[in-house]
Amino acid sequence: MRPMINEATITTNGVVRPTHVEVNLDCLSANYQAIKAHVSPARVMAILKANAYGHGLVAVARHLVAAGADYLGVAYLEEGILLREQGIDAPILVLGGILGNQVPLFLDYDLTLTASSLEKLEQIQTAARARGAVARVHLKIDTGMERIGVHYYNARSLLEASLGCDHCFVEGIYSHFANADAADLNSARIQLQRFLDVLTFYEERGLQPPMRHIANSGGILQLPESHLDMVRAGILLYGVYPSDDVPRTVPVQPALSWKSLVVYFKVVQPGDPVSYGSTWAPEEMSRVVTIPVGYGDGYFRNLSNNASVLIRERRYPVVGRVCMDQTMVSIGWETAYNGDEVVLLGKQGEEEITAADIARWAGTIPYEVLTNINTRVPRLYISGEG
Ligand SMILES: *Cc1c(COP(=O)(O)O)cnc(C)c1O
């Protein structure tokens, strides 16, 4: 494995910060292929919002486009523009809600718009007509999420209007599941049925429907009938399962590891408390090491007295409060040295800490663990092909 260091990973004098994220690019493309094989002939949209779930937007996009990704999906216009400015020319759907004054930028950057109401569709048509352009559009149907999208019971007028939009290329139509990662699939099945009912609009008119998509990672894993023409793979692409309730029908591996180094070692006397608020003190003389990572990097403060890290292939507890930039770990009376590798998330020897472990400790979900690792933490991209 040859580490590839990009400009964002370099700090002063070319020295990489001891705390960094490693993203295994081979693993990402293997996950993409595994999903593709599972849903074929449906296409796979790679969801890259929120800095590619913390993995680094541009590097992940480049790699997945080279690996043959059919379509890219982001949440915000700004994410799409950044990808275009970095030379990514694959089709990009912006999933979020839009404002009328953003439409010209979508056209400038050839980004696909989500039309989630009649009014939005009209704004798109008007802006595209004004410059003699054709906007690429996916219609958004709300089948039960109550977020953006026209309600399934009011969708026909949007579909009808879309047929008359001569400055829109209606390439797709989609909806989004609220509960596809749950053990109980009733709600997801109802949403899927509502979506299919809306789509009969096209059948009734003898029209080929636009590209139909509704499945997120939960749908990919446990609702094959929801794969339709395309799936939208987010967390699964990164090798993480959306919940503990889903069957693991697609084999994927986590692509991201979060590592640091021991930067300080001390012996703490019994009863002497460690860190802010004095929430922990050893009962016996203990060796305590300091790791240069904290909640200012996205290592949740909720992990105080609550998480483990790996050092020398063993698991040790985080003790005392996690600080903004530093975290203390008790190694009992065992041995560790300055410069030893610390794994916050990922594997070391036989041991592994997963995003789901950290989520459980911090009282959140793996999605937030990954997206919370902020841009202060350099990303290193590794690939076996180097
Ligand atoms: C985030 C998102 C996805 C991906 O969800 P995962 O659960 O990560 O697979 C798909 N579709 C939409 C509209 C989203 O916002």
Ligand 1 mean position, distance from CA 312 (Å)? 37
Q: Is 95 in the pocket of ligand 1 (CB under 6 A)?
A: yes
Q: Which CATH architecture is the domain 256-383 placed in?
A: Beta Barrel (2.40)
Q: Is 242 in the pocket of ligand 1 (CB under 6 A)?
A: yes
pLDDT of residue 126: 97
Q: Is 288 in the pocket of ligand 1 (CB under 6 A)?
A: no
Q: Is 61 in the pocket of ligand 1 (CB under 6 A)?
A: no
Segment 171-190, tens digit of pLDDT? 999 999 999 999 999 999 99
Ligand 1 mean position, distance from CA 136 (Å)? 20
pLDDT of residue 1: 45
Q: Which residues contact 94 (CB under 8 A, 6 or more apart)?
A: 73, 74, 75, 76, 77, 79, 80, 106, 111, 112, 113, 114
Q: Is 176 in the pocket of ligand 1 (CB under 6 A)?
A: yes
The answer to whether 330 and 316 have CB atoms below 8 angstroms apart is: yes
The mean predicted confidence, pLDDT, of the chain is 95
pLDDT of residue 3: 52
Q: Is 47 in the pocket of ligand 1 (CB under 6 A)?
A: yes
**276 flagged as catalytic:** yes
Within a 10 A sphere around the Cβ of 138, how many other Cβ atoms? Answer: 24
Ligand 1 mean position, distance from CA 179 (Å)? 12
pLDDT of residue 47: 98
Segment 11-32, tens digit of pLDDT? 445 567 899 999 999 999 999 9
DSSP 364-381: S-HHHHHHTS-TTSPEEE
Of 153, 264, 276, 337, which residue is the catalytic one?
276
Q: With a cut of 80, say whether residue 366 has pLDDT above it.
A: yes
Ligand 1 mean position, distance from CA 192 (Å)? 15
Least confident of 1-10, 44-53, 131-140: 1-10
pLDDT of residue 13: 54
**Ligand 1 pocket mutation, candidates 47, 114, 142, 195, criterion most atoms within 8 A of CB:** 47
Which H or E element spans position 315? strand 314-317
- Model's pTM, two decimal places? 0.95
No. of H helices and E strands in the chain?
A: 11, 20
Fold that domain 41-238 belongs to in CATH? TIM Barrel (3.20.20)
Half-sphere exposure for 293 (CA within 13 Å, toward CB): 31
Q: With a cut of 70, say whether residue 386 has pLDDT above it.
A: no
pLDDT of residue 384: 76
Segment 211-244, tens digit of pLDDT? 999 999 999 999 999 999 999 999 999 999 999 9
pLDDT of residue 144: 98
- Domain spans in the chain, listed from the N-terminal domain onward: 41-238, 256-383
Q: Which residues contact 126 (CB under 8 A, 6 or more apart)?
A: none
Q: Give the confidence band of 128 by pLDDT, cuts at 50, 70, 90.
A: very high
Burial of 43 by CB count in 10 Å (0-12 exposed, 13-18 middle, 19+ buried)? Answer: middle
**347 flagged as catalytic:** no
The answer to whether the 41-238 and 256-383 domains have the same CATH topology is no
* Axis-axis angle for helices 77-85, 57-66 (nearest 10): 60
Distance CA 219, CA 236 (A): 11
Of 32, 36, 49, 259, which residue is the catalytic one?
49
Segment 281-332, tens digit of pLDDT? 999 999 999 999 999 999 999 999 999 999 999 999 999 999 999 999 999 9
